Every structure is written in structure tokens, then in C-alpha cells.
Structure 1
Amino acid sequence: MPRRSLAVLGWLAVVIVATLAGVGALRLVGDSLASTPGGVRSQTDVARDLAAAKERPVPPTATAASPTPPPATPDAKRKPFGSPGGTVTATCEDGLVRIVYISPAQGYAVDDQDRGPDKEAEVKFRGPAGRSEIKLRCDGDLPVRMGHDD
């Protein structure tokens, strides 16, 4: 009889330890799955964070047409041009214009492009308000917009 009691007590101890371990594991996993990172946020916190986000500049939408942004150092021959559809930066060398950077505006995409180097370069954007284009050529060693700066 003592052997049987010892076996029952051993079995009961194993069941209790396994149950406690399982409950602890479920609590740990359940808390990490069900909780909000950083805790629950109030409406005031959310409104403050949204206002702060609006003040930060939004990086341009990456597209397959966008190369690496122009270097941070200013280049007197590089000049940006804007339109409702986006912005391009161009440079001139030996009388040929070359578009070095394209950044569509939010909601717009590059519809067509001819980056050069050539006598003329252009980018066409397509978006919710229709189409927009930037057409460029060189005036000496500086790029100029055709139809606007001529």
C-alpha cells in the first residue's frame, strides 16, 4: 500500500507541475500576442502622434523609376523642377540634358520617361488629377524647362 500511495503522490506532483508550467507558458504567450506594444494609447496620445507625423517630411514613394537620390553636396549644375505629378532633378553636360532623379508626388506614378543624356529629356506622371509632364533641355550648362523657361 505505501508503494501505491507513493505512486499516486508522484503522479499528482507531475500533474501539478505540468499544469503550472502550461498555465505560465500560456500567460506569457497570451500576453505577448494579445497586448498592444507600448500599452494601450489614449485618443489624446494618438492625436498628438498624428500631429507630430504631419510635421515630419514624408519620404518620396519609391518606384522602379527612381534612382538613388542626388548627393547631399550641392551641385551648381543640378536643378530641380516640379509639377503636380512630381519632381525631377536634372543636369547638363556637353549640351546634353540628363535627368538624375525622379520623385512622383503622392498618388502619382511615372507613366513614361526619357532620361537622356540627349538634347531633350522628359518625364510624364499619371495620377488622380490626370497627367503631368516635365520636359527639359539645356541652356548652356544649366537645364531649363521647355515651354516655361524658353
Structure 2
Amino acid sequence: MDRRSLLAVTGWLATTAAATLVGLAAVDLVGADIGGTVGGVRTEQDVARALAASVPASTGAGGPTATPTGAGGPTVAPTTAGPSTPGAARRGFVTAGGSVEAECGPAGVRVVTWSPAPGYRTKDDDRGPDDHVEIRFVGASDEHELRLRCRDGVPVRDLDD
């Protein structure tokens, strides 16, 4: 290889290395904001704590508390059904098929948000407002249905099915 070719290859390698280092430094300077999720990614435990903190626990036979148990908790961003009613009582419900947040208002119970668990989808949903609402999460081998109604102005699981 002659001297001219050797200088060309060396110059190309030096330019490539410098461009790579400048690119890495720029990404490091920008930080996680360049590809991160707005608000960060939440673990199942973070979601459980957030639901438990924002929703009153169940009293009596009204239904489950807001804390999910075991695997299959919500990990997908919730879908929103519409604007919230001011002053309405809200409550979260979790099944292996997904999670639902509902509220009671003057027109009855209404699903505010819902989030299927991984491997599940929503089918035949009745979001209200009405005397009762239903959300069905369907997976490959099973399904989980939540039927909710209002009791004393608070959403509860309807166990009368």
C-alpha cells in the first residue's frame, strides 16, 4: 500500500472515531430523555401502591381492594372512557385479566379507565353511566369479567350474577 492510501485510510478511521465519540457524548449529555417514557416506566408494585393510595379500600362484602396480587397486574397504559365527574367517588378493581377504575355519579356507575393485562383484550364492555357496568377481559385460555354498581355512592363489585 502506498503512502497516500495509508493516509486516506488513517484519516477515515480517525474521522469515524471522532464522530462516534461526539455522538456518544451528545447522547450522554441529553440523557434518558432522548428515548425514555414520559413519567418513567412503572413496575407492578408501583402501580399497586398508586392504586392503593388513590382509592379507598373495600369495607364489607363490597368487592376487592385496589391492591393487585400475583402476576398479571396492569402494565399497559389505561384507556380512558371520558372526563371525570367532579366530586364522584372513585375506586379501582384488579383481576388477572386487567384493571378497571370506576366512579359513581348522579347518572350511576361509570368506568373511567381500564387496562387489559398482557395477553388479554377487552370484549363486550358496557362503560355506563348506568345502574351497573361490565368489562370483560378475554385471554387465550380464560376470561375475567368485572360487573360493577354503586352502593352508597361508591363503586362496588356486583356479586349478584
Query: What's the TM-score, normalizing by structure 1?
Result: 0.56
Query: In structure 2, the residue corresponding to 1:78 is in which secondary structure?
Result: strand
Matches within 5 A, 1:1-150: 14-25=4-15, 57=46, 60-62=75-77, 66-67=79-80, 77-147=89-159
Query: In structure 1, the residue corresponding to 2:118 is in which secondary structure?
Result: coil
- 1:26/1:107 Cα in 2 relative to 1: closer, same or farther (>3 Å)? same
Counterparts of 2:133 and 2:45, CA distance in 1: 32
Structure 1 unaligned spans of 5+: 1-11, 32-52
Whether the 8 Å CA contact 1:81–1:87 is kept in 2: the answer is yes
Whether the 8 Å CA contact 2:121–2:139 is kept in 1: the answer is yes
The C-alpha deviation readout for 1:82-123, integer Å capped at 9, x for no partner, is 222111111111151111111222322212311111122111
1:46 alignment counterpart: none
Query: In structure 2, the residue corresponding to 1:62 is in which secondary structure?
Result: coil
Counterparts of 1:56 and 1:144, CA distance in 2: 23
Query: What's the TM-score, normalizing by structure 2?
Result: 0.53
Structure 2 unaligned spans of 5+: 22-41, 48-73
**Pairs aligned (count):** 115
1:3 alignment counterpart: none
Query: In structure 2, the residue corresponding to 1:79 is in which secondary structure?
Result: strand
CA RMSD of aligned residues (A): 4.0
Query: In structure 1, the residue corresponding to 2:89 is in which secondary structure?
Result: coil
Query: In structure 1, the residue corresponding to 2:104 is in which secondary structure?
Result: strand
